Chains A and B, each alone.
Chain A
Amino acid sequence: MINLKTNKKIPDGTRFAQANREAFLSLLLALMYMAWWYFTAYGLGAGPVEDYSYIMGFPSWFFLSCIAGFFIFALLSFAMVRMFFVEIPLTDENRVSQDNGESSCG
């Protein structure tokens, strides 16, 4: 079996280990987002409204948690996929792939 992007060989029987790693990373990224979301929102927004500071017209808590958080974690999801996810074939080698046959030649 080969990595469909780099054409390097993937050791037999390791696809699920890779899939588990990716599942774990996805969960971890969600927990990181949760922490960012929580601490920016309540760290800056829990006080009285009169004391709020503002960024681009939005209260700072809102700007950081909802707007900046969105951009930062969209970027991080891109980084996660690029750096840690592997293009493993999804069909088994002894089965002819139904779509374009790319995994049947591995």
Chain B
Amino acid sequence: MKTGFHKIMENPVVADYQLMIPLFLYLGLVYLMAFYSNRILSRSGNFIEEYFIGSRGMGGFVLAMTLVATYTSASSFVGGPGVAYKMGLGWILLAMVQLPTAWITLGVLGKKFAIVARRVDAVTVNDILRERYRSKPVVILGSMSLIVFFIAAMVAQFIGGARLFEGVTGLSYNTGLIVFAVTVIIYTTIGGFRAVALTDAVQGCVMIAGTTALLIGIVNLGGGVEQIVSDMKAIDPALVSPFGPDNFISRPFIMSFWVLVCFGVIGLPHTAVRCFGYRDSRSMHSAIVIGTIVVGFLMLGMHLCGAFGRVIIPQLAVGDKIMPQLIVTVLPPVFAGVFLAGPLAAIMSTIDSQLILASAAIVKDLYLNYIKPDTAEDLQSRKGLQRLSFWVTAIVGVIVFGASFNPPDLIVWINLFAFGGLQAGFLWPLVLGLYWEKANAAGALASMVTGIASYFYLVIFVKRFWGMHVIVPTLVIALAVFVTVSLLTFREEDRMPEVFRRG
């Protein structure tokens, strides 16, 4: 097997049709679902509600899968395991911080969020902010920052996907980017949110299958867990400690990830929007359990693959290359094709959600609210609205696609930049808006501006704050500003509106 790997290294072009068959079958299935969703869309009475939130029809399984699939992205499947390869078991400890995401996002935003969203017909997170704060600047700033950060995040995802495609199939980076980007853009554009959720559910299953097979393959090839762990210890004992080589994973550093990838996730708009897209309480309950199991399994499994991979292929410089190399080393070609689909699925399922939300921000939050408010009521213009939504989705997709041709190195950090920026902007306006009566527009606006600005400043100039990721001071600043400004400027008419208070 090790010789097989060397052969690949000398001759990296293994454009093997066996590998492509399952991949293209899978892409075909994705297109089918897009057409199915498009048919439902064309029959739907309310275009906006169907296209952007799937008429709030998600059951427990689809909700769990779309939540997890959206959340597990290139960084969990390519970047994260790449770092685990270098850092060992300590990085898995860090990844497992994400276990509570399903119960914490669904639970904290909770049924109150779902009930309010139904009352005010919200299809985007900004709709909720608009009803709560009744402030044009809050909605415009929210929509603009969402669009900018999502574009940055999607570029990182595209790069991850194309690189993976390149690494496994041997076809060029640009070919991978084209196949991959065209698929995502088409199915999201024609199918809307329903296509996004359905493909996410399938992609979630593919990820689970891929992770299982890869992990079993690696453990077998490495001679069992005990052997692998002792081999890791032989390479560097720090690989089996919680701290990693050179104490890289210090305690303040790892603890700050509880804020970044666990509690802060509540504020991610593409996660939050799913928290009012489900059908009923029962769907939410089962999604909490299924989502927790799936997210735990994927995080544990994928990062174990990365960490154990160190023993299988000891000498890799670029961490991002580890997953593709492991897939081709461990699995026979036809299976490799199936399992390449796993991480590609993770990436596509993140891009699709961000794409549909960026489109919703432009069409619903900006255009319908402030540019042409009467369009929504006018049945005559339904066709125009539909055309506009399709075009906006497609154009945003193409912009991102164009920006992905000149890729930088470790994608995990780029992705975290957008990730933290979104949290800085949305976490407090959402959570305090739901639970604090005195939260007002001035507070929300001040908090969004200082949160996002200080995040930029801290990431660029400070990098680590007392050993912690800078998201921690960012969110503290944003909270302090929110509370102070709200209390100072509060007037009685700012009090939480009736629809947010009447159980």
Residues of A within 8 A of B (CB): 4-5, 12-20, 22-23, 25-27, 29-30, 33-34, 37, 41-42, 45-46, 49-50, 52, 54, 56-59, 61-62, 65-67, 69-70, 73-74, 77-78, 80-81, 85-92, 95, 98-99, 102
Contact = CB atoms under 8 A, between A and B. Distances in A.
Nearest to B108: A23
A37 B98 CA distance: 11
A90 B114 contact: yes
B90 to A, nearest CB: 9
Nearest to A103: B280
Contacts of A57: 224-229
Interface stretch (B126-134, B151-159, B237-245, B391-399): B237-245
Interface in B79-120: 89, 92-93, 96-97, 99-100, 102-104, 106-112, 114-115, 118-119
Interface string B273-287: 000000111100110
Contacts of A70: 96, 99, 296-297, 300
Interface of B: 55-57, 89, 92-93, 96-97, 99-100, 102-104, 106-112, 114-115, 118-119, 224-229, 233, 237-238, 240-242, 251, 258, 262-263, 279-282, 285-286, 288-289, 292-293, 296-297, 300, 435, 501-503
Given A65-B93, A85-B281, A77 B103 contact: yes
Given A20-B112, A27-B107, A58-B229, A4 B100 contact: no
Nearest to B285: A81
Contacts of B229: 54, 57-59
A49 B238 contact: yes
Contacts of B96: 37, 65-66, 69-70
Contacts of A95: 118
A58 B225 contact: yes
Contact of B293 (A27, A74, A86, A88): A74
Given A23-B108, A30-B262, A41-B242, A77 B225 contact: no
B242 A90 contact: no
A13 B502 contact: yes
A33 B263 CA distance: 12
A91 B281 CA distance: 11
A30 B56 contact: no
19 contacts: A5-B282, A15-B111, A16-B502, A20-B112, A27-B108, A34-B258, A45-B242, A46-B242, A49-B237, A52-B240, A57-B225, A57-B227, A70-B296, A73-B99, A74-B289, A74-B293, A77-B288, A90-B111, A90-B118
> By CB atoms of chain B within 10 A, which of A4, A5, A59, A77 has the most?
A77
Contacts of A62: 89, 92-93, 240, 242
Q: Which 6 A-B pairs have the closest CB atoms?
A: A26-B107, A57-B225, A16-B503, A57-B226, A49-B237, A19-B112
Contacts of B97: 37
Nearest to A13: B503
Nearest to B119: A92
Nearest to A73: B99
A103 to B, nearest CB: 8
Nearest to B262: A30
A64 to B, nearest CB: 11
Given A20-B112, A25-B107, A66-B300, A15 B503 contact: yes
A70 B502 CA distance: 37
Given A30-B262, A57-B226, A57-B228, 11 more contacts: A17-B503, A19-B503, A22-B107, A26-B110, A29-B103, A58-B229, A69-B99, A80-B288, A88-B111, A99-B279, A99-B280
B115 A90 contact: yes
A56 B224 CA distance: 10
A18 B263 contact: no
A70 to B, nearest CB: 4
A27 B262 CA distance: 11
